[in-house]
Amino acid sequence: MVSLLGLNLLSVYWLKRQRVPNLTKVLLVDMLLLTIQLGLSGGATNPFTALYLLQVTLAALLLGPKEYWKFTALTALLFGLLTVVHLPLRLPEYEPFFATYLTGMLVALIIDSVLVASLVTRITRNLRDRDARLAEMRQQASEEDHIVRMGLLASGAAHELGTPLASISVILSDWRAMPTTRDDMELQHDIAQMQKAVDRCKDIVSNILTSSGEARGVGPKRSSVNAFLSDVTREWAENRGTAALQFENRFGANVSILTDSSIKQLVTTVLDNALEVSPDWVGLTASRAGNALVVQIDDRGPGFDPKVLGKLGKPYNSTKEGMGKGVGLFLVVNAIRKLGGDVGAVNRADGGATVTMKLPLDKLSVAGTQADDP
């Protein structure tokens, strides 16, 4: 009994240290200790020989086929040995042997049933959990494959668009300098607007190449949370030509961070989605929660469909018509999660929706520095 207790305590210690013991050796020692106990108490005539069934069941569930059949053969050998080598089972003379034997068999059967049922239930639950984790990993791999394919497509399109945009920019410069257009102020204004649109397209192409890892020597820039938020909101409002954005900064003490265009795109993508459904008003509120920058974007649109909210972050998860709908939010959710942050979306009680993005400052901040307010 002392040896069996010591084996169990040692197994618990191994498991707490996250070390998996050699199951074959553990089951072998357990069976040998059971055999010794039975040999000292009647051998094969002891009704608790039914506990061998528990040992065989454990071996069938936990060991490979080769080890299992060896274990089964050894069990049969030890049981046969108990018929020959054992100490007699001494019972009080006033107790009939058969009635006592039947009682022992009943107790052994109950022990076997309870232990086998609990073991099989636990192993089945572990297998279900493992299958769920594997399914989640397969889903994540599938989503990452979507990201890779879309990144390759965007990068290729950006390269292809670079040449015609450069040609258009050159032609516009020539038009502006031509004698027939030089003095035409209305035409000069139209050319300037066209040049501004071309420059914006070129910036978008550069941002796509930067996000896909082709930064052309442009690295992250040192900035601060307040400056980053101000730049994002100002540039977004100017480029969209809208005054619908209401920006409120509640972040508090400024923090120095490193930013690049990909982080800016995460915010502008959600702002674009909000502006599409709520062209008259879009709200952006920045705050701090622990060690995270929280960006909350509100709109007054129709809100999210419950099915979309239930599958937030899945590719092509949108009720909009047309190819590629729902890709923007999918990329935002997965990009922020890869940074260690989180994205949530809810429908507001007074109408519209709220998208909340949490960006971990430890992934963005310059350690040990505080930034001056811009």
Cβ pair 222, 251 in contact under 8 A: no
Q: Identify which of 186, 185, 261 has the alpha carbon closest to the alpha carbon of residue 219.
A: 261
The single residue listed with the structure tokens 């998860």 is 317
Question: What tokens does 174 get?
Answer: 């020539």
| 29-to-35, 40, 116, 121, 245 alpha-carbon distances in Å | 10, 17, 19, 24, 72
Tally of residues, the chain = 374
- Whole-number Å distance between alpha carbons of 3 and 212: 62
Query: What was the pLDDT predicted at 332?
Result: 77
- Whole-number Å distance between alpha carbons of 240 and 274: 12
The single residue listed with the structure tokens 């550069």 is 206
Q: Which residues contact 42 (CB under 8 A, 6 or more apart)?
A: 86, 87, 88, 89
Question: What tokens does 16 get?
Answer: 């707490």
Q: Is 143 exposed, middle or buried (0-12, 13-18, 19+ CB in 10 A)?
A: middle
Q: Which residues contact 370 (CB under 8 A, 6 or more apart)?
A: 253, 254, 255, 256
- Whole-number Å distance between alpha carbons of 277 and 204: 22
| 266-to-97, 191, 273, 333, 366 alpha-carbon distances in Å | 80, 31, 11, 9, 20
Query: What was the pLDDT predicted at 370?
Result: 45
Question: What tokens does 364 get?
Answer: 């963005």
Is pTM, for the whole model, over 0.75? no
Question: What tokens does 24 get?
Answer: 């074959």
Q: Is 301 exposed, middle or buried (0-12, 13-18, 19+ CB in 10 A)?
A: buried
The torsion region of residue 151 among left (phi > 0), alpha (psi -120 to 50) and beta comes to: alpha
Query: What was the pLDDT predicted at 193?
Result: 87
Tens of pLDDT along the chain (374 residues)?
566 566 667 666 665 665 656 778 778 888 888 888 888 888 888 888 888 888 888 888 888 888 889 888 998 999 899 888 888 877 666 556 677 778 888 888 898 889 888 888 888 898 899 898 888 888 777 766 666 666 656 656 666 677 788 788 888 888 888 887 877 888 888 888 888 888 888 777 766 665 555 544 445 678 899 999 999 999 899 888 889 999 999 998 888 888 766 778 788 888 988 998 899 999 999 999 988 999 999 999 998 888 878 777 666 556 555 444 556 677 777 778 877 888 889 998 888 999 999 999 888 866 544 444 44
